[in-house]
Structure 1
Amino acid sequence: MARTSLHKFDMENGYKRVITSDNSDLKHLGFSHLVLKPGQKIEYEVTGEEIAIVLQKGDFKASVEWKGERFLNDITGSREDVFEELPTSIYLPPKSKITIESESGMEARIFTAPCEEGNEPYFCAPEDVEEGNPGAYIYKRKYRFIFGPPTKHNSDVTKKLIVGESVSVPGGWIGFPGHRHDYKNSEEQPLEEIFSIRVKGPNDGPGTVIQYSSDVENGERWNEFFVIEEDNNAISLPVGFHTSFAAPGCTEYLLWGLAGEEKVYKVKFDERYTSLENALY
């Protein structure tokens, strides 16, 4: 039985739910997709969850109401290239409402996490994103903390969600060695995760996501592979070690989000690859 699931979405206008508890094994994390055509405006009310909207392409102007008041007024963002440009993002708690419009059209990808009470709405401009460039060789990559793990950049913005981006070097890996967050112990904390990937290069692909047994140390063996050749994807990762890489000559952009019952971030890496530690960080 498959543990991981690949979900594809279209580029039709409007707000659409892509990954939910009904079509995946995720209970604490979901994924939605927003497309506006030029000149289009929509209103969306957030109910029973918090959401993080991450702009992928285009422009927007938005206002947010919360607790009966206009909380964010005429905030704006634009983006043309996710590989080179830092993101613009909006955090919305339950019981908030956003009015968003676009002059030239826009696409955004959205993480959702069930909760009854969130934190106050927040506008994350590109200059509010933390970017780093760790690793060496084919393990070198950019990371961008939009709403980082506890104690990291912007971690106090959200109640449940942890959201960021990574960009590989051509033919490089992101998240290697494989890592998991399945069990509650001194080494790790249960968190669900979703990947959404874009690849650029010769014919724009492919990129590959590898998901494998969460109990390799106990002899359990299973593997799941997803070859990504189109940008309209989101992958649910409920359990197991996972990593991803781009084909030689191609660069991978990875939008990632995590959430669990508790917002505690501890991950366990596949210990068979500890000899590579100096190349990874």
Structure 2
Amino acid sequence: MRNKENQARMEQWSVQSPEIPGFHPVITPEKCECYDTQIFRLNLVAGDTYTLDSEGLELNAALIAGAAQLSNHPVLTQTMKQYDSFYIPGKNTVTITAVEDCIFYIGGAVCEGIGEPFFRSFDLSLPLGDIHQIHGSGSGSREVMFTLNPQDKASRLIAGLTWGNDGGWTSWPPHQHEKDLEEVYCYFNIPAPRFGLHLSYLKSGEYDDVVAHVVTSGTMVQAPMGYHPTVGTPGGRNWYFWVLGAHSHASRRYDLAVLDPLQENF
């Protein structure tokens, strides 16, 4: 039997992020169910400058589109190309100048005083290891590039870029990690009329309550709890920046996912 209350709750987990220029809080505790994982979007027109101030948060920013120059920071002085990223702990500022029109997706979490700023260049030639990985198999195979991996010094965040195969699944078998972490998927490179599907459900076996979120570029879907597999439509693939926010520094781990026991062998 369908649980309409649960379905209505999960339907609120999908948010379309703003495309207009400026800095936009998208997923924050004041207006969303995720409490430990925050997401911001920064849109800059070529030539514009923005000073990013982490204040009490740690931030991991990925350049989704365009090119930018970093400055006014002792470590971050690089020119950024598409999919490059950087991390700053709390009480850091960095100036971002758009060399081309830019879109940044930025993950945030409370900084516990642990973290060191760094820049990471996106490099598909990296051998498989801590940063570049292949997850899953068959129709569930996907490529992962960590922007902030568990070995990096940080307080609560882990983050990365994932892209699946054409028409393929990602995050399959379905998993949840609600005891230890929250997650948000921030989709890109899925321009309309193309779309993908992001599924949300709370408990193994309760598939009548599955909510299917239609995702395109700019869609951001929360997973404060429950399972959250995704699938691309034929001829397309799902691309997303995913951000995990741990409930505490002790649970800032990537090995805490619990697979849906009814789906893990498929």
Interval containing the TM-score (normalised by the shorter chain): 0.7 to 0.9
Give the equivalent residue in structure 1 for 2:166.
Answer: 170
> What is the identity percentage for the equivalent residue pairs of Structure 1 and Structure 2?
22
Secondary structure in 1 matching 2:115: coil
Instruction: After TM superposition, give the deviation of residue 220 of structure 1 in Å.
Output: 9.4
Give the equivalent residue in structure 2 for 1:279.
Answer: none
1:112-148: CA deviations, max 9, x gaps? 1012424121111124882223444321211112212
2:197 paired with 1:205? no
Compute the RMSD of aligned alpha carbons: 2.1
Cα distance in 1 for residues equivalent to 2:133 and 2:109: 26
Sort the Cα spacing of 1:213 and 1:116 in 2 relative to 1 into closer, same or farther, 3 A: closer
Does the aligned pair in 1 maintain the 2:72–2:95 contact within 8 Å?
yes
Hey, which of these two has a bigger chunk of strand by percent?
1
Q: Could you tell me which of 85, 88, 94 is aligned with 2:84?
A: 88
Secondary structure in 2 matching 1:24: coil
Give the equivalent residue in structure 1 for 2:235.
Answer: 249
Does the aligned pair in 1 maintain the 2:114–2:153 contact within 8 Å?
no
Instruction: After TM superposition, give the deviation of residue 159 of structure 1 in Å.
Output: 1.5
Cα distance in 2 for residues equivalent to 1:238 and 1:224: 14
User: Which consecutive unaligned segments of at least 5 residues does structure 1 have?
Assistant: 66-70, 80-86, 150-154, 184-189, 277-281
Secondary structure in 2 matching 1:248: coil
Q: Could you tell me which of 197, 206, 214 is aligned with 1:227?
A: 214
Correspondence 1:39-118 to 2 at 5 A: 39-65=47-73, 71-79=74-82, 87-118=83-114
Correspondence 1:142-181 to 2 at 5 A: 142-149=143-150, 155-181=151-177
TM-score by length of 1: 0.82
Cα distance in 2 for residues equivalent to 1:64 and 1:91: 15
Sort the Cα spacing of 1:220 and 1:235 in 2 relative to 1 into closer, same or farther, 3 A: closer
Segment drifting more, 167-176 vs 10-19? 10-19
Cα distance in 2 for residues equivalent to 1:236 and 1:253: 15
Equivalent residues, number = 249
Cα distance in 2 for residues equivalent to 1:113 and 1:6: 19
Sort the Cα spacing of 1:29 and 1:135 in 2 relative to 1 into closer, same or farther, 3 A: closer
Secondary structure in 1 matching 2:262: helix
Does the aligned pair in 2 maintain the 1:163–1:256 contact within 8 Å?
yes
Cα distance in 1 for residues equivalent to 2:109 and 2:155: 9
Cα distance in 2 for residues equivalent to 1:200 and 1:105: 18
1:148-171: CA deviations, max 9, x gaps? 23xxxxx22322100011111111
Give the equivalent residue in structure 2 for 1:240.
Answer: 226
User: Which consecutive unaligned segments of at least 5 residues does structure 2 have?
Assistant: none
TM-score by length of 2: 0.86
Give the equivalent residue in structure 2 for 1:191.
Answer: 181
Give the equivalent residue in structure 2 for 1:267.
Answer: 257
Does the aligned pair in 1 maintain the 2:60–2:147 contact within 8 Å?
no
Give the equivalent residue in structure 1 for 2:39.
Answer: 31
Amino acid at match of 2:19: M
Instruction: After TM superposition, give the deviation of residue 221 of structure 1 in Å.
Output: 6.4
Sort the Cα spacing of 1:119 and 1:271 in 2 relative to 1 into closer, same or farther, 3 A: same
